[in-house]
Structure 1
């Protein structure tokens, strides 16, 4: 606007709102705009004990246990008190299911022995499958789903941050005919630096919009631990695909010359070669840093700290124990009441 030229080593995105103020050289590289959010963490779940088997399997096991207890009771009555009561039949069925012993003296008839043998096979398969899947689910848990698209982004976050240069991006999103982009523009907050925006993203329900390659670099350098687990992640889908160019005044006589020079660099692949070399150097530095951190992590692992299960994994057993204690206490109170009433009648 002041008829002066500004050249910088960093790219400048060619946006419609910027074209009204100044012109651009020919685009020399493609920029992919994406967003970054905090990697979902594990929350304590009471149903970790149920996760290894589907609801259909659990219902089938319970139904089979009830039917089997009834069959054993009927066989006991036909065989003259092989199984005197339904409660004892239920106890035998669940003892086998939990891998405990069963009262062999009750299986006196051939029919009852066949039924128990079939149930032993079922209990073996269910028990092995449950223990194997339980171990796998506790050591390699399934993390909650994370937003990967623009539509999911606007529903998941409270605010989207962008560095001070993002004022034009906010205008761009608000002027879009897309409802999703309009929602992004309303959530977009211009002001914090990239470091501050990423820190807020890691600590709060925020997101940051920036160039994908730059985000990958910053996350790998500052938000990734020695095991390769990142506190932040870049979404798989891109919000925008734009070109980078150098801003120049409208009607600048040197634009054709700059375009020819930039085109020569672009067609020879020098921009891509430079970016590839930069990323290789960054990866090498990050790999060396992580190797040093892994050495310290392995020392901590030798003390048994790295593989410890947290309450997020083991909340289910403790809740189940609490439920059992409360149920037993209530049953104990009911038994006391019934005993008191029976003694009062006598």
Structure 2
């Protein structure tokens, strides 16, 4: 186990040393969107679906405060209506959009200055996106199998 100093070091170690990083989900998503997402919106970091460490929140309210029940009702209404989740999603989308715009601007400035970017320098070694012509063979095999299966089924139905 390695205890890091901040989240950026932890996520960098997750990429370079193949280690896991545990932290608050919302903070991890925002940091990955801000610092570890490319111009195309892709991030090499995967954030798991499960929650290992839940965030602990507390309100400094005395136990017998007269407004405690109203505060509990308000908090439950916000949580049950999904307002907190909606706020979290909007905040993440805004961060991702701002990051993409910032990186596009940096890319435009680099092109104006004539600096060769990492995208252009590794363009020949990048993986090409799949198109229909790339998967045409498996698609033909699938369709042939479906057609022959349907024909066999119809033959059995007719002969029975």
TM-score bracket relative to the smaller structure: 0.5 to 0.7
User: 2:50 maps to what in 1?
Assistant: 238
Structure-to-structure mapping, 1:153-232, within 5 angstroms: 159=1, 189=3, 192-232=5-45
* Contact 1:227/1:294, CA 8 A, preserved across alignment: no
Structure 1 position 270 matched with structure 2 position 86: no
* Contact 2:36/2:45, CA 8 A, preserved across alignment: yes
Give the count of matched residue pairs: 119
Please state whether the residue corresponding to 1:265 is helix, strand or coil.
helix
- d(CA) in 2 for partners of 1:305 and 1:243? 42
* Contact 1:223/1:231, CA 8 A, preserved across alignment: yes
Task: Sort the Cα spacing of 1:242 and 1:290 in 2 relative to 1 into closer, same or farther, 3 A.
Answer: same
Structure 1 residue 262 displacement after superposition: 1.0
- d(CA) in 1 for partners of 2:18 and 2:55? 30
User: 1:309 maps to what in 2?
Assistant: 125
Structure 1: runs of 5+ lacking an equivalent: 1-158, 162-188, 311-346
Match of 2:73 among 255, 260, 266: 260
Structure 1 residue 220 displacement after superposition: 1.8
User: 2:96 maps to what in 1?
Assistant: 283
Task: Sort the Cα spacing of 1:293 and 1:214 in 2 relative to 1 into closer, same or farther, 3 A.
Answer: same
Task: Sort the Cα spacing of 1:223 and 1:292 in 2 relative to 1 into closer, same or farther, 3 A.
Answer: same
Structure 1 residue 208 displacement after superposition: 0.7
Q: TM-score, normalising length from structure 2?
A: 0.53
User: Over the residues paired in the alignment, what is the CA RMSD in angstroms?
Assistant: 3.5
Query: Cα deviations across residues 243-262 of structure 1 (Å, max 9, x unaligned)?
Result: 7542557x711343421221
Please state whether the residue corresponding to 1:238 is helix, strand or coil.
coil
Rg larger for: 1
Query: Cα deviations across residues 213-251 of structure 1 (Å, max 9, x unaligned)?
Result: 32222112111233444343323x4244857542557x7
Between structures 1 and 2, the one with greater strand share: 1
Query: Cα deviations across residues 282-305 of structure 1 (Å, max 9, x unaligned)?
Result: 1221221232245447x747x962
Structure 2: runs of 5+ lacking an equivalent: 127-160
Superposed structure 1 runs of 4+ greater than 6 Å apart: none
Please state whether the residue corresponding to 1:266 is helix, strand or coil.
helix
Query: Cα deviations across residues 86-132 of structure 1 (Å, max 9, x unaligned)?
Result: xxxxxxxxxxxxxxxxxxxxxxxxxxxxxxxxxxxxxxxxxxxxxxx
